[in-house]
């Protein structure tokens, strides 16, 4: 199981890094991988593989509620606004890597939309 979690951590870091203007880096003060879009957080993830490892992502409130009701591996965002953020256990078998990738992209897009027009134009 820890190999699956380690693989997912590496994979999801790469997914975040490939998004335009985004970078994923280890944030020592929080002990997380921080998903950053020009200084705005669109996710955070446990850096070490363990049974408790999670990724926390922004989502639409109604989508977040639906995920929590249908997946026991999804809970309100850990150390985040419980309405707008969900935490997903990286050991989950209820969500595929592709589904989590879509959630990463959705989180990125929600933060991107809040950027000023000038910043969005600078990102291209």
CA distance linking residue 25 with residue 13, whole number of Å = 8
Global confidence as pTM = 0.95
The answer for residues whose C-beta is within 8 angstroms of residue 89's C-beta and 6 or more apart is 52, 53, 54, 73, 74
Any domain includes 22: yes
* Alpha-carbon dihedral angle through residues 52, 60, 32, 37, given to the nearest 10 degrees: 160
> So what's the pLDDT on residue 79?
83
> So what's the pLDDT on residue 80?
84
Any domain includes 7: yes
The answer for residues whose C-beta is within 8 angstroms of residue 25's C-beta and 6 or more apart is 33, 34, 36
Tens of pLDDT, residues 88-109: 999 999 999 999 999 999 999 9
Any domain includes 124: no
Any domain includes 42: yes
Average pLDDT score over the chain = 96
pLDDT surpassing 90 at residue 2: no
> So what's the pLDDT on residue 84?
95
Tens of pLDDT, residues 38-84: 999 999 999 999 999 999 999 999 999 999 999 999 999 988 888 99
> So what's the pLDDT on residue 8?
97
Domain span at residue 78 reads 2-119
pLDDT band at residue 124 using 50, 70 and 90 as cut-offs: confident
pLDDT surpassing 80 at residue 1: no
CATH number, domain with residue 57:
3.90.1150.30
DSSP label of 76: E
Any domain includes 44: yes
Any domain includes 96: yes
Indicate the number of domains in the chain: 1
């Amino acid at each position: 199981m820890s190999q699956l979690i380690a693989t997912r951590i590496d994979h999801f870091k790469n997914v975040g890094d490939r998004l335009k203007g985004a970078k994923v880096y280890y944030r020592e003060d929080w002990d997380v991988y921080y998903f950053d879009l020009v200084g705005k957080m669109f996710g955070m993830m446990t850096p070490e593989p363990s049974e408790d490892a999670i990724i926390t992502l922004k989502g639409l409130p109604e989508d977040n509620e639906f995920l929590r009701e249908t997946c026991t591996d999804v809970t309100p965002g850990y150390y985040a606004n419980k309405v707008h953020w969900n935490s997903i256990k990286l050991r989950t078998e209820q969500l595929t890597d592709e589904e989590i990738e879509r959630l990463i992209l959705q989180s990125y897009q929600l933060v991107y939309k809040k950027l000023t027009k000038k910043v969005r134009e600078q990102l291209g």
